[in-house]
Amino acid sequence: MNAEIARLRALYPNWTPPSDLSQLSAGGAAAPPDPIIERLWNLYREDRIAEVRAAIAERQASDPNWKPPEELVTALETVEARRRLVNASDSGQWQTVLSVATESPSLLTCTNVDVLWRVAEAFARTDQPARTRDVYTYLLTNCANPAERLATLQKALTLLPEQQVADLLQFERRTGESPDDFSSVRDELARRRVERASLDSKVTASAEDLAAVERLIRNTNEAGPVMTLGWYNYHHGNPARALELFKTALDRNGGAKAAEGYAMSLRALERLTDAEAFAYEWRERAPENMKIYLDIATALLSQDPPPRLDARVVGRIVPVVTAQRFPDGAQALGWYSYNTQQIRTARDWFRTALGWKPEDEPSAYGLALSTQRLNERAAFNAIVAQWRGRSERIADLADTANPGSGRRSAPVQPRAEMDAAPRPAVPRQVTVERVEVEQPLVRTEEGVRVRQTQARSVLGRSCAMTRNPAGLSGDAALTRGWCLMEINRPLEAVAAFDQAIATGSNRAREEAAYGKSLAYLRKNLTSEAAVAAAEAPQTRTRQVELGASILTQRALAAYRDKRYVETLLALSERARLVPEQNDLLLIRGWSYFNLGRYKDAKQVFRAVQRTGYSEEASVGLNAIREATDQVSQ
Amino acid sequence: MMARAPFRATLLTWLVAMFSLVMAMSASSQSLSVQPLKIAGTVSSADWEAYRSRFVEDSGRVVDTANGNISHSEGQGYGLLLALAASDRRSFEQIWSFTFTELLIRDDGLAVWKWDPEAKPRVTDRNNATDGDLLIAYALAKAGEVWQEPRYTTAAQKIARAIGKNTFGRSGRSLILLPGANGFGAEDRPDGPVVNLSYWVFEAFPVMAALAPEYEWNRVWRDGVLLLQQATTGRVRLPADWLSLRSGLQPKPADGFPPEFGYNSLRIPLYLLRAGMIDLEWLRALKQRWSAENEGVAVVNVVTGQIRERLTDQGYAVLHAALACALDGTPVPAALRAFEPSLYYPSTLYLLAKSLLGEKYTQCVSSAAP
């Protein structure tokens, strides 16, 4: 301890034990030989330092032999030094802090603990931590106020390495009138050790430290320690406990970081569906939350065997992956589409993924497979030419392909082996023996029309009697489905179409899936319609037709629920398929309006008006005028 | 201090001689030299009291009333100089107390330039402004000499050394005064180095050279005059407040500042007059431009020559009157004789001009003059 004081003395050679300034001022006021002296001390006590200086100068100007009392000069210099030191420290001018302290060692006393703290910080900020520790040691050795002593340790926590803080704990006074209680500092050190271990699975925290953090969790309402323990458990093989802790952290307003931990724990527990739903809600809160959502969505799509996902889930993954231009997600959507027989969609996703990440071999492989399945020779050859030298499996695909045969047969369910790695799954071996060829559009549509006509005219109301479609053949079930649609009983039609999908030929399955989508659309069951549309490959025209209908209904539903961002998303997706007609343009305009995007809204309403007079568009433009006037007021 | 005084006097004389000699050798045929000013006792106590009561707080803070009542190093420097001109030792000490404790806190020994009473901490921008540093050091040096106060001289010397060390920069073969220790050099901005000619307080240079002879004040002073000549050769013949020296010898308006001869540059002729550097052809042209028959004192776009703002306050009008007096002996118009303080800045310019007229051109302001 004496050595520390000696070191401080070495630092400030002129340092002498403090003389109390209040005594000085009392002494000055005790026997005033001159009325001006008392006035000066009064100004000094009121902290009007510039005026004291001014009065001294004025007096000296008129009386060159006059000298202010030595104590007053010292007191002034000390106050000025303290001001400069504090101002310099507030502005991060650490050299000035140190030089002022060196020139005014009388400042460095227990009556000016704040100054001591600032000097300690200046040492730390100028890479002299040993000196910082000296100042704290001096303070803990000499100054008595327990609150200031504890605050000293807390300052040390922000400026010194932990080992040095731990060393300072030895100065804790356990006895006497006002003993110290440094337990909060000990707990903080424990929390930091656990925090460090919490991010490194190779570092284990001691039971004592873990107990300290548990105690912190019990004794405070803060989310911080809960999350620390959450991450510790997450990284030390206990995601179930981590999940509980992150739940607590969320309840304690732990926010985005807690949500990230919660989502990661769900994923670690392989509860991917829950994880996706949860992470979706939090995705906009911080970039980390978006990242974990995309990772989870990718993992969800890439499960082995390929899962049957709720169309709602896929439907909400798509716009996020698109907006974020996340290549792994696009690739996963590619494989998901591929594995659910939506080969064109798969091809488009692989192409998108490559657009975002040109060097992504798995996406290139997916694109090669898809174009091969679709018999798109030129596209297939282009991708092979581009990747032959870089990917053996793409080269193999070209060498073993059996191209050009247009013969039809039942499509083979592709079997994809997925990697178990958290990376988006990559099919290692995919055997595609036959090339599917789309049937000419006209024939398909014609077939449907014929059957619909049949349903209307021949079968008439024969389907009106409720009957279990289970025993029907594919074709009969299909006819019954259309019949039920004709008499507007879409839910029963769905059952019939299901039977057709289960038992029918390829053609029947395709048509039944189409019928089922229309049935759901009629009941406003947009999501189900989307699922149904995915149940069998559809022709381009039908895809467009169904897609547009589904998106229209989705947009309208979102608009009814005042979810304007989603309305706009659905409308924009739809606009990519078919042109937007005026009634939907108005919905778009009002969505912009409700989101406060007045400029966009104005543009849309103007566009509607250009196609002919529209009262609704005028109303919209007036509303914008009113709203923007209000804004500018 | 007393022991050093004779040496200082000798050195100063020698330096002044050197300052004029160098100019005679320069490309210009004009002969320029700095004539030292006495300053003390050149402003009446009534004028000073009118200024002090409006712009100087009890804390010693000089308040810029047109800029949110902030204070800056420049204002503190002017306040010190004017207190000295009024021989008001009391106010000088007061203003110095504030300057020392609140602004002179930078690690490099220069003053932070801005102090805002509404902010916490008050210093929101810890950069310096070199003209503020120069003015403070100059006022301290003059006051230390007049009042035989070593505290002032010591402080002046510290600042002078800090200016020499931190704000002298190179531009080609010129040695220049950077407006701040940071942010204006060739490596700091794409159009750097950037200078402000009104930061050359010419009269201060010989005094600084005496305080910190290890730095090349003489060259900076001379190169400042050359820069001014280069910057006034254009069609409009006015320098922009902020000049980029990126392209060698032809200064251009700096990026991010209006290309204007503005409130900053108005001070250049005043500083030239105060330094006694009146044999500069540009001053004659400026006097012509500023006369009532022409455009008068104004903020002017240096590219188009268009006037953005006419400046009619007494503090701006007196700049033309001082020019006319110094160059032609024209008496100062009666309307400008009595101080009518308005805002901090024009009031400051007014008193600086009046102090000069009171010291060197009494014939223009004597009651005998028409």
Subunit contact B107:A54, Cβ cutoff 8 A: no
CA–CA distance from A582 to each of A579, A601, A613, A621, B146 (Å)?
Answer: 10, 14, 11, 15, 86
The answer to whether the CB atoms of A96 and B107 lie below 8 A apart is yes
What pLDDT is stored for residue A248 in this prediction? 94
- Beta carbons of A54 and B60 less than 8 Å apart: yes
User: What integer is the mean pLDDT of A147-163?
Assistant: 94
Kindly list the residues from chain B whose CB atom is less than 8 angstroms away from the CB atom of residue A88. 105-107
Query: What's the one-letter identity of residue A213?
Result: V
List the catalytic residue out of B47, B64, B131, B203.
B131
Hey, which residues 117-146 in chain B have their CB within 8 Å of chain A? Answer: 121-123, 126
Shortest distance, CA B287 to any CA of chain A (angstroms): 41
Query: Which among B59, B101, B107 has CB closest to A84?
Result: B101
Inform me whether the C-beta atom of residue B359 falls under 8 Å from chain A C-beta atoms.
Answer: no
CB neighbour list of residue A478: distance below 8 Å, 6 or more residues apart: A451, A496, A497, A500, A504, A508, A511, A512, A515
Residues of A with CB under 8 A from a CB of B: 48-51, 53-58, 60-61, 80, 83-84, 87-88, 90-96
Q: How many whole angstroms from its chain centre is CA A89?
A: 37
B140-149: b (≥16 Cβ within 10 Å) or e: bbbbbbbbeb
pLDDT band at B62 (very low <50, low <70, confident <90, very high): very high
User: Structural domain boundaries of chain B?
Assistant: 2-23+37-365
Nearest neighbour of A57 by CB, restricted to B89, B102, B121: B89
For residue A631, pLDDT over 50 is answered with no
Please, how many CA atoms are within 13 Å of residue A312, restricted to the half-sphere of its CB?
8
Residue A520: predicted pLDDT: 80
Q: For A544-553, B76-85, B314-323, which range has the lowest pLDDT when averaged over its residues?
A: A544-553
Split at pLDDT 50, 70, 90, the class of A503 is confident
Asked whether the predicted pLDDT for residue A418 surpasses 70, the reply is: no
Q: Using a CB-CB distance cutoff of 8 angstroms, which residues of chain B are in contact with residue A101?
A: none
Given a cut of 80, is residue A486 above it in pLDDT? no
- Establish whether B49 is a catalytic residue: no
Q: Mind listing the pLDDT tens digit for each residue in A273-314?
A: 999 999 999 999 999 999 999 999 999 998 877 778 888 898
pLDDT of residue A413: 30
Mean pLDDT along residues A15-22: 44
- B200-220 pLDDT, tens digit each: 999 999 999 999 999 999 999
pLDDT band of A81, cuts 50, 70, 90: very high
| The predicted structure's pLDDT at residue A556 | 84
Q: Do A53 and B121 touch (CB under 8 A)?
A: no
Instruction: For chain A, say whether B235 makes contact (Cβ under 8 Å).
Output: no
Residue with the larger pLDDT of the pair A420 and B159? B159
Euclidean distance between CA atoms A399 and A430, whole angstroms? 14
Rounded CA gap, B91 and B58, in Å? 9
pLDDT of residue A549: 81
If one compares A206 and A306, the residue with the highest pLDDT of the two is: A206
HSE (CB half, 13 Å, CA atoms) of A375? Answer: 14
Residue A380 has pLDDT above 70, yes or no: yes
Q: What is the DSSP string of B119-138?
A: SSSS-S-----HHHHHHHHH
pLDDT category at A151 given cuts 50, 70, 90 is very high
More confident residue, B221 or A599: B221
Q: For the structural domain made of B2-23+37-365, what CATH number should be given?
A: 1.50.10.10
The first and second tokens of residue B211, run together, are 């305080």
Q: Rounded to the nearest 5 degrees, what angle is found at the Cα of B224, between the Cα atoms of B221 and B230?
A: 150
Residue A368's pLDDT is what?
A: 93
Judged against a pLDDT cut of 60, whether residue B11 lies above it is answered with no
Q: At residue A461, does pLDDT exceed 50? A: no
CB A427 within 8 A of CB A417: yes
Q: Quick check: B2 contacting A, CB < 8 Å?
A: no
CA trace torsion B94, B97, B102, B103 (10° rounding): 100
Q: What is the arithmetic mean of pLDDT over B236-258?
A: 91
Inter-chain residue contact A93 with B104, CB threshold 8 Å: no
Is residue B131 annotated as a catalytic residue, yes or no? yes
Token couple for B292: 């009532």
pLDDT at B2 over 70: no
Q: pLDDT tens, B283-320?
A: 999 999 999 888 899 999 999 999 999 999 999 999 99
pLDDT for A355 beyond 90: yes
| CA pair distance A194, A172, nearest whole angstrom | 23
Verify whether the Cβ–Cβ distance B94 to A48 is below 8 Å: no
Question: pLDDT tier at A262 (50, 70, 90 boundaries)?
Answer: very high
pLDDT tens-digit map of B321-337: 999 999 999 999 999 99
User: Which residues of chain A neighbour B94 with C-beta distances below 8 Å?
Assistant: 50-51, 53-54
DSSP code, position A435: -
| Higher per-residue confidence, A20 vs B346 | B346
pLDDT band, very low/low/confident/very high, at A9 (cuts 50, 70, 90) = low
Residues whose CB falls within 8 Å of the CB of residue A305, separated by 6 or more in sequence, listed in order = none
Name B62's bridge partners. Answer: B56
> Which candidate in B105, B110, B126 is best for mutational testing of the A interface (most A CBs within 10 A)?
B105
State pLDDT tens for residues B91-122. 999 999 999 999 999 999 999 999 999 988 89
Side chain identity at residue A168, one-letter code: L
The one-letter amino acid code at A466 reads T
Residue A168: what pLDDT?
A: 94
Do A54 and B104 count as a contact with CB atoms less than 8 A apart?
no
Share of chain B above pLDDT 90, in %: 83
Q: Shortest CA distance to A256 belongs to which of A232, A229, A221, A291?
A: A291
Q: What is the ipTM of this complex?
A: 0.88
Q: Across residues A91-95, what is the average pLDDT? A: 96
**Residue A207 burial by Cβ neighbours in a 10 Å radius (0-12, 13-18, 19+):** exposed
Give the tokens for residue B267: 């001070």
Contacts of B60 in chain A (CB under 8 A): 50, 54
pLDDT digits (tens, 9 = 90+) for B166-213: 999 999 889 999 999 999 999 999 998 999 999 999 999 999 999 999
E strand or H helix at B115, and its extent? strand B114-115
| Bond prior to A305 in cis (omega within 30° of 0) | yes
Distance of CA B211 to the CA centre of its chain: 18
Is B84's pLDDT higher than 60?
yes
Element (H, E) at B299: strand B298-301
Contact status, residue B23 vs residue B225, Cβ threshold 8 Å: yes
- Mean pLDDT, residues A436-441: 30
Q: What is the pLDDT of residue B20?
A: 59
CB contact under 8 A, A61 and B89: yes
B115 touches chain A (CB under 8 A): no
In B, which residues are within 8 Å of A54 by CB distance?
Answer: 60, 90-91, 93-94, 97
Alpha helices, H only, chain B = 5-25, 45-55, 73-85, 89-98, 130-146, 150-166, 205-211, 217-231, 267-274, 281-290, 314-328, 344-360, 362-365
8 A C-beta contact, residue A182 and residue A150: yes
Q: Give the C-alpha separation, A29 to A242, whole Å.
A: 67
Q: Mutate which of B71, B88, B89, B120 to test chain A, going by most A C-beta atoms within 10 A?
A: B89
Across the range A404-410, mean pLDDT stands at 34
In this predicted structure, the answer to whether residue B261 has a pLDDT above a threshold of 70 is: yes
Q: Which long-range contacts (CB under 8 A, 24 or more apart) does A411-418 make?
A: A411/A341, A411/A436, A411/A506, A413/A341, A414/A338, A414/A339, A414/A369, A414/A373, A416/A304, A416/A306, A416/A335, A416/A338, A416/A339, A417/A304, A418/A302, A418/A303, A418/A304, A418/A306, A418/A335
In this prediction, residue A35 carries a pLDDT of 84
Residue closest to B136 by CA, chosen among B120, B170, B108, B160: B160
pLDDT band at A441 (very low <50, low <70, confident <90, very high): very low
Closest CA to A143 of A18, A6, A15, A24: A18
Q: If you average pLDDT over residues B135-158, what whole number do you get?
A: 97
Contacts of A84 in chain B (CB under 8 A): 100-101, 104-105
**Residues A294, A326 contacting (CB under 8 angstroms):** yes
**Which among B97, B121, B147 is the nearest to A49, CB-wise?**
B97
Question: Is the Cβ–Cβ distance between B28 and B229 less than 8 Å?
Answer: yes
CB A507 within 8 A of CB A408: no
Q: How far is CA A361 from CA A42, A327, A340, A387, B294, in A?
A: 83, 12, 21, 8, 76
Measured between its terminal Cα atoms, the distance across chain B in Å is: 46
Q: Is the pLDDT of residue B369 over 90?
A: no
| pLDDT confidence band for A31 (50 / 70 / 90) | low
CB contact under 8 A, B121 and A61: no
CB contact under 8 A, B94 and A80: no
Determine, for residues B90 and A57 on separate chains, whether the beta-carbon distance falls below 8 Å: yes
The answer to whether A50 contacts B59, with C-beta atoms less than 8 Å apart, is yes
Residue B87 pLDDT > 50, yes or no?
Answer: yes
**Diameter over CA atoms, chain B:** 57
The whole-number pLDDT of residue A25 equals 43
